Amino acid sequence: MTTQTQVQESQKAPGRGMTAVAAAVLWALAGTAGAATAPKVVSGPTPYRVSSDCAVCHGMRGASTDYDVIPRLAGQHKAYLVMQLQQYRDGHRADQNGNIYMAPVAQSLTNAQIDALASYFSAQRPRMQASGVHHAGAAAGKAIFTNGIASEQIPACMACHAANAQGMGTFPDLAGQRYRYIVQQLTYFHNGTRQNALMGQIAKNITVPQMKEVAAYLSSL
């Protein structure tokens, strides 16, 4: 029941996002029409693809905070980014926002392009960091992260995501990730629309208030 509420809440996001994307596309079209206002092509080590395909949503450095369901990518582990991009491309990460926003951009990526994009975003500094916006429940969230809730079969998140929440390899860095994005992903794992054997099991028993608490803690790091 509470999960239902969360899912409904989340459905507002694509609408807002789509408007923004449409606006950005219009802006980009307007830019190409008048050569004087055309955005500069980024040269050097930055993959051109980032500016053409990713920056509108994630920002050039993977740190955009324009839309709260769009994750930070700056400094995220390369192996994790590679895996997620492959999953979007191959249709394995097929949660609602993934389908709407990421499947279209990921579908044509080659493994070499995925590798380059993941290298680029994982190398961006500063890495993900707290936005300074405080959400209620961070103390309770820290307790869940550190100890889990044994009586409700919720394992300690720290066991896999590390004591500092920075993860490793294909275990994602969660420290400083965005509040709303974290709540959304826990919802997807909980309802099974984002499939992962480990996280599906972990999120099975977590309630919406607990998701928000743990997100309040993680986004504050």
Q: Which residues bind ligand HEC (CB under 6 A)?
A: 21, 49, 53-54, 56-58, 69-71, 73, 76, 81, 83-85, 93, 95, 97-98, 101-102, 105, 117, 144, 154-155, 157, 159-161, 170-172, 174, 177, 182, 184-186, 196, 198-199, 202, 214
Nearer to ligand HEC, 35 or 151 (CB): 151
Nearer to ligand HEC, 30 or 198 (CB): 198
Nearest approach in angstroms of CB 34 to ligand HEC is 23
Contact by Cβ (8 Å): 208, 6: yes
Q: Which residues contact 124 (CB under 8 A, 6 or more apart)?
A: 61, 62, 63, 73, 74, 75
Nearer to ligand HEC, 13 or 132 (CB): 13
Distance CA 14, CA 17 (A): 5
Q: Which residues contact 183 (CB under 8 A, 6 or more apart)?
A: 6, 208, 211, 212, 215
Nearer to ligand HEC, 174 or 221 (CB): 174
Distance CA 79, CA 184 (A): 22
Nearest approach in angstroms of CB 36 to ligand HEC is 25
Query: Phi and psi of 16, rounded to 5°?
Result: -65, -45
Nearest approach in angstroms of CB 153 to ligand HEC is 11
Nearer to ligand HEC, 57 or 216 (CB): 57
Nearest approach in angstroms of CB 20 to ligand HEC is 8
Cα–Cα–Cα angle for 91, 204, 216, nearest 5°?
90
User: Tokens standing for 80?
Assistant: 């994790």
Nearest approach in angstroms of CB 38 to ligand HEC is 19
